[in-house]
């Protein structure tokens, strides 16, 4: 029997992830706080639930992809939340990026209602969600992951069991630390090249073939040069993830100086009203002090 899937959170990432589940043949019920995502998926064959609780009642596995820790708490444990639609065999897979501590707390409360939970944040951005090639970092019981592996495989190309509840979120924060600091390095290289009178496109072509290459150099740098700041992953979301990493590190007394610096730059971008732009807009935080525009 094919699992009935519920999907909650139909934004930049959620829509293509949900679409790939339908392509894989899973019956899908969706809910979102706003209509556009619901209408789009329903027009393509999904059913509509009138609340997170209703989606849970009609599903074997319910997936969430929402913004931050309070959003997951609300949709999982709040009024008309997943916990109110709990039934035997239900699994909640949270693909959002949130606090590991909050994840463990939600998992404990869901377990009391008989619901298993996997924290399974993803990496790969909008294009990875569209292509179904996301990297999925899963925390929770190994047997629950194995049961849900076919569901996750419809959305991702790499699925790694990272450990107990909260481990997936911890590994995702590791990913975000590495991503953001690498992005900063790419931005600095572009600004340095432009300030030196070098065509940034030439620099990207040359460095992409050497040890300095990265996903950010190959994918984000061309967008920076083209002044294309449409989001595949938003500044506001990157800033939120870095805040979570710093909060978690502070509780462990683990120094993250590079993360602190890049978090400040993303905070400045958000304060300047650029929170809805893609993370490639980080280059703007360096251009003004350097007196140059990368193009």
- The set of catalytic residues is 172
**Alpha-carbon distances, residue 269 vs 180, 202, 225, 280 (angstroms):** 14, 27, 18, 11
**Residue 44: its H or E element:** none
Q: Which two tokens stand for residue 287?
A: 């251009």
Residue 269 CA, chain-centre distance (Å), reads 19
Q: Which two tokens stand for residue 175?
A: 């990913």
Residue 261 to residue 42: CA distance in whole angstroms: 43
Residue 93 to residue 154: CA distance in whole angstroms: 14
**Alpha-carbon distances, residue 210 vs 205, 218, 222 (angstroms):** 10, 12, 17
């Amino acid at each position: 029997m094919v699992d009935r899937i519920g999907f909650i959170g139909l934004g930049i990432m959620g829509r293509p992830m949900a679409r790939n589940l339908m392509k894989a043949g899973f019956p899908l019920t969706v809910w979102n706080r706003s209509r556009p995502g619901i209408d789009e998926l329903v027009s393509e064959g999904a059913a509509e639930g009138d609340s997170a609780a209703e989606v849970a009642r009609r599903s074997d596995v319910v997936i969430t992809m929402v913004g931050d820790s309070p959003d997951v708490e609300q949709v999982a444990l709040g009024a008309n939340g997943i916990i109110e639609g709990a039934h035997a065999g239900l699994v909640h897979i949270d693909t959002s990026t949130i606090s590991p501590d909050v994840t463990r707390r939600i998992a404990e409360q869901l377990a009391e209602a008989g619901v298993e939970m996997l924290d399974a944040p993803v990496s790969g951005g909008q294009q990875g969600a569209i292509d179904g090639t996301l990297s999925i970092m899963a925390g929770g019981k190994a047997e629950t992951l194995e049961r849900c592996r076919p569901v996750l495989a419809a959305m991702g190309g790499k699925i790694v069991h990272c450990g107990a509840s909260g481990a997936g979120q911890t590994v995702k924060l590791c990913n975000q630390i590495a991503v953001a600091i690498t992005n900063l390095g790419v931005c600095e290289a572009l600004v340095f090249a432009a300030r030196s009178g070098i065509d940034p496109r030439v620099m990207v072509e040359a460095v992409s073939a050497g040890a300095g290459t990265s996903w950010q150099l190959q994918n984000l740098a061309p967008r920076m040069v083209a002044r294309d700041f449409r989001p595949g992953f938003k500044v506001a979301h990157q800033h939120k993830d870095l805040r979570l990493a710093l909060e978690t590190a502070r509780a462990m007394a683990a120094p993250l100086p590079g993360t602190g610096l890049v978090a400040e730059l993303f905070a400045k971008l958000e304060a300047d009203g650029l929170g809805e732009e893609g993370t490639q807009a980080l280059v703007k935080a360096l251009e003004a002090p350097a007196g140059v525009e990368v193009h």
